[in-house]
Structure 1
Amino acid sequence: MKMNLFLLVLAIIGLLSLTTVDAQENRLPLRRIIIGSKSYNEPIILGEMAVLLAEDAGIETQHRAELGGTRILYEALRSGEIDFYFDYTGTLIKEIFDGVLIRNDDELRAALAAKGIRMGKPLGFNNTYALGMKESRAEALGIQSISDLTSLALTNPQVAKLKLGVSDEFIQRADGWPGLQERYSLPFKVTGMDHNLAYRGLESGTIDLTDIYSTDAEVKYYKLRVLEDDLGFFPVYYCVPLYRKELETTAPQFIEVVSRLEGKIDNQAMSEMNARVQIDQVDETRVAAEFLNANLGMQIDLPTDSRWGKLARDLLRTTLEHLRLVAISLFAAIVIAIPLGIASFRYPKLGYVILGAVGIIQTLPSLAVLVFMIPLLGLGALPAIAALFLYSLLPIVRSTYTGLRDIPANLRESATVLGLDQRAQLWQVELPLASRSILSGIKTAAVINVGAATIGALIGAGGYGQPILTGIRLNDVGLLLQGAVPAAILATVVDALFGYAERFIIPAGLRVKAGH
């Protein structure tokens, strides 16, 4: 009876996972243009412009925002995970085609075409890389150019001890720190960090210098000095649309409407839009709509939702997405991990291998696992679910193994005397007796998954991690709490539900023993 209840709980988790999948898929149109964007304000605003232009023309779209850096977006475009996104010519030349001689836009366009990707014309602004530091600090040290950093470091101990913190992408890119350090012979070590957090590091004094984008609103807001690139290291970074070749035949009208942005956005306009989002905390969709209405003569209705109405809808959406990630990964882990735990107990030598393998998996950094999953499973929920599944294995396998191992020998002997075969012993004696330990492992895996699922937002999986990422990007504590608080509440609810389920799954005798 108890095992039947356990199987019923398992079936409910499985049904929830399938239901959330179906609900998610049913919300998406059959054929739509998937627009991607990087994880900072500017590409998200531009992505919203593309969405609004398409919707005005009756074209169905989906915007997968905050997907990471250039490599992730470019590979997603090549693999068909997305159909369209905005990137920068200098980034493409230095990062994607590093080592290939590309001298102008025509040669870059040809190189992309060879990969099945089309490049549109520039939107008008040049968002080049630069180094920036607080104006007051730069003035006090007499730093005007990047070369000054090298020369003054030899004579001024304060300059030699400057703390550099640069974005995680910049620290690895060919057009980033490695090439810059070599060109200028910079004698500094750098620390990698999120691009949005670096500005707060400058303000607080945690770091002295960081990489910036020339159209960033924070340059003016934080009173930064942009150091002159006097040796001309950084290339031109014109913003251009990239899209899959197939769109020319399957959705030519989309390419046509997005081309209306060509040459329409200069540096000042882009910087002002970035400021509207970053400083004034205006929604990206509204900022994009205001620009299109003012500069392209469109009549897009601006969002009129109340703050509380939007909050309620966003909370419902992120909750369903988060439950989807947790339910599917947990269901799959239960189905796989319990048999692995049984096998580990029955066959000790095999168990040594199994427990060692799931233990190693548990030690892998979650971000590294997610990135590794992208080439295999693409972007979105699937790689996040796969990663959560892997992290769920250890607590369930170990608890199953421990529960079976700790069954007293006299109880096993009694089952043998009664004439029960191994299969009957497992289902009628061993698993019921081990149920408290097994359920404890499942509960641990579920609570861990609720917290770990937030990182899935980095690859477009949604859930409570999405408002957390946006809150970091916009320096908005309210958005951070919009993701962090529900995640904590959900973890508490899950823990309580499993505690309640123990009354119906664990044999009464074992519950009494646990109470004592």
Structure 2
Amino acid sequence: MNLRAAARALAALALVLLAGAAHAQQPAGAASRAGQAPEAHAEVAVGSKRFTESYLLGELVTQSLRRAGIAAEHRQGLGNTAILEQALSSGAVDVYPEYTGTITRELLKLEGAQAAVSLEQLNARLAPRGLKAAVPLGFNNTYALALREDDARRLGVASLSDLAALPPAQAGALRLGLSHEFLQRADGWPGLSRAYGLRMAPGAGLDHGLAYQALARKQVDVVDVYTTDAQIERLHLRVLRDDRNFFPRYDAVLLMRASLDERPLAAALQGRIDEAAMTAMNAQAEVDGRAFADVAREFLDRGSAAAASAPAGAPASPPGFMARLLAPDLGRLLLQHLAMVFGSVAMAVVVGVPLGVLAHRVKALSGLVLGAVGVLQTVPSLALLAFLIALVGTIGFVPALLALFVYALLPIVRNTHEGLAGVPQGLRLAGAALGLKPAQVLRSVELPLAAPVMLAGIKTAAVINVGTATVAAFVGAGGLGERIVTGLAINDHVQTLAGAVPAAALALVVEAVFALLQRGVRRGV
């Protein structure tokens, strides 16, 4: 097998996987409707943020739409407010659960008395963006700060003003474990610390789910919470009273594109979820380890009153590792992961090999080309994804594929350059003496001899991208990272391992496949 044959095989595999991934990302039931008459409603893309409650509300919206006969897909765990706002604007998402306080402070940048607006006033301000807030779900889930009950008693704090009044030594000794979004939001730490004169250092950001674990292990002392979080009661935390009313109301609503008909969702969900029901559902998912889809289905089947009382009995035993590992979504996630990896590597081969040849042939450009792809490799993955989302105007598979393509360039360009540099000059001269033109010498002499080194670069790019592709789940691209992101969101190590283990196994398989390809190429040289 020569390099050309290997490249053709890689490109063919990438095309097959890209087509398969596109099919795998269709919503449930779409394939079965092929060939039937068009539905009255187009498919609705439902988004959710990366925390337990948002996952659950996203599932409730998705299942409610399907029960109304509307095709719907849940694109879960899409990161923070900024990413979901862009997803709404681009049409990648049609609706997602949001809170009125977040809309006023984060999206509309309203402060103070301006932030206290009615739903009608809110929609008047959202209309120029092509958005609307509808379907009030029935509960208020505000931000708060919380600490362990024994620490609260020892320090004598019950409100945020009490926390601000602590002596400098006591305040300075408190370790804060605030979520990344809370650290940046206008209605988060920056505004809260100014409003109360809080003097503690905020420290590095923590994932919301991991912050509870750190609090239980006494690695941090104060965390930001949502008031319907299931972990508050479980960990015996004291939620500090917002006695200066800094936080606005965070009434749960559905933020959607203005063109979406909210009536089916209003009929199913409006006013049906109170604080007790939402806290109970959060507990079933986060404490009892039940699947988001199962909790949402039970709520819709039995009603809010029954759902609120569900956790009173003995908690259900969560599925074990093997059940999570071999769950029905494994095939879909694996196909999406492979499509991202081999699609990006095939693109990088098409671009990177010519760049490597250029760097070798034109010495003046060698440093520029190698330096440029080296700098691209240093860009943090989430930062690159955010930039590409803004560039292409959508979330999901496309920006993830482009990001992985960027990361695959360096090993391919560098190994192409080094492989060509390692070809003995005498063989080039021999080819020229036989009357071969420079392009023919490259094609018939240099590239075949450089093939083993070049293929090693392609292998490195593929193995690196297997791991990097897990980050793509933060922008709704799917893949095995979807399980990892979900596990982090609900602090479920088994769920995280159910995504990490197959990703690691896939990296080993890719390594072995490319080792066989390298062996074949060496035989053909």
Q: TM above 0.5, one fold?
A: yes
Whether 2:497 is the aligned partner of 1:489: answer no
Check conservation: 2:359, 2:365, Cα contact below 8 A.
yes
- 1:10 Cα offset (Å): 3.3
1:474 aligns with 2:490: yes
The correspondence of residues 34-45 of structure 1 with structure 2, limited to 5 A, is 34-45=45-56
Q: Deviations over 1:179-236 (max 9, x none)?
A: 0011111111112111111111101111110100000001001110001111111111
1:251 matched residue in structure 2: none
State how 1:249-268 maps to structure 2 within 5 Å: 255-268=263-276
**Secondary structure of the residue that 2:225 maps to in structure 1?**
strand
- Match for residue 295 of structure 1? 303
The answer to whether 1:241 aligns with 2:249 is no
Asked if 1 retains the 8 angstrom alpha-carbon contact of 2:456 and 2:518, the reply is no
Q: Which residue of 1 aligns with 2:315?
A: none
The one-letter code matched in structure 2 to 1:267 is E
Distance 1:255 1:400 in 2: 58
SS class of match (1:243) = strand
Unaligned runs of 5+ in 2: 31-37, 307-318
Residue in structure 2 matching 1:133, options 128, 140, 147: 147
Is the alpha carbon distance of 1:121 and 1:8 closer, same or farther for their aligned partners in structure 2, counting shifts above 3 Å?
A: closer
Select 2:448's aligned residue among 418, 422, 432: 432
Q: 2:184 aligns to what SS in structure 1?
A: coil
Which residue pairs with 1:152 in the alignment?
166
CA change 1:332–1:281 in 2 (3 A) is: same
Question: What's the secondary structure of 2:181's corresponding residue?
Answer: coil
Deviates more, 1:239-248 or 1:27-36: 27-36
Rounded to whole Å, the distance in 2 between the matches of 1:124 and 1:26 is: 32
2:181: which partner in 1? Answer: 169
- Is contact 1:54–1:258 with CA below 8 Å preserved after alignment? no
Equivalents in 1 of 2:6, 2:371: separation in Å?
A: 27
Give 1:5 deviation, angstroms: 2.6
Name the CA distance, whole Å, in 1 between partners of 2:60 and 2:465.
Answer: 35
Which one-letter code corresponds to 1:504 in the other structure?
A: G
The offset of 1:25, in angstroms, is: 5.7
Aligned residues of 2:27 and 2:72 also touching (Cα < 8 A): no
- Change in Cα spacing, 1:15 to 1:293, as seen in structure 2 (3 Å) is closer
Q: What corresponds to 2:236 in structure 1?
A: 223
Of 130, 137, 151, which residue of structure 2 is paired with 1:123? 137
1:63 alignment partner, SS class: strand
1:471-501 Cα distance to aligned partner (Å, 9 max, x none): 1222222211111111111111111111111
- 1:493 maps to a residue whose letter is V
Structure 1: how far apart are the matches of 2:17 and 2:395? Answer: 19
**CA RMSD in angstroms, aligned pairs only:** 2.2
1:50–1:258 contact (8 Å) kept in structure 2: no
Letter in 2 for 1:53: S
Specify the SS of the correspondent of 2:398: helix
Amino acid at match of 2:146: G
Q: Post-superposition shift, 1:3?
A: 3.9
**Which aligned pairs between 1:198-209 and structure 2 lie closer than 5 A?**
198-209=211-222
Report the Cα distance in structure 1 between the residues aligned to 2:327 and 2:177, rounded to whole angstroms: 37
Does residue 184 of structure 1 match 2:196? yes
Q: Which residue of 2 aligns with 1:301?
A: none
Map 1:452-471 to 2 at 5 A. 452-471=468-487
Query: In the alignment, residue 485 of structure 2 is paired with which amino acid?
Result: L
Give CA deviations for 1:250-301 in whole Å, capped at 9, x if unaligned: xxxx533444322221111111111111111111112112222222799xxx
Length, aligned pairs only: 497
TM-score relative to the length of structure 2? 0.90
**Cross-structure match for 1:20:** 20
2-structure distance, mates of 1:215, 1:225: 13
In structure 2, distance between residues paired with 1:245 and 1:172: 28
Gap change, CA 1:292 and 1:70, over 3 Å in 2: same
- State the alpha-carbon separation in 1 of the partners of residues 330 and 135 from structure 2: 38
Question: Which secondary structure does the structure 2 equivalent of 1:86 belong to?
Answer: strand
Flag the 1:351–1:27 CA change in 2: closer, same or farther, 3 A.
farther
Aligned-residue identity in percent:
44
User: 1:347 and 2:347 equivalent?
Assistant: no
Q: Give, as a single letter, the amino acid of the residue that structure 2 aligns with 1:282.
A: R
Which consecutive residues of structure 1, in runs of 5 or more, have no partner in the other structure? 249-253, 299-305, 510-516
Q: Which has the higher contact order (CA 8 A, sep 6+)?
A: 2
Quote how far apart the aligned CAs of 1:94 are.
0.9
- Cα deviation for residue 247 of structure 1 reads 1.8
Q: Deviations over 1:17-50 (max 9, x none)?
A: 4433453366674830111111111122111111
SS in 2 for 1:42: helix
Matched, 1:389 2:396: no
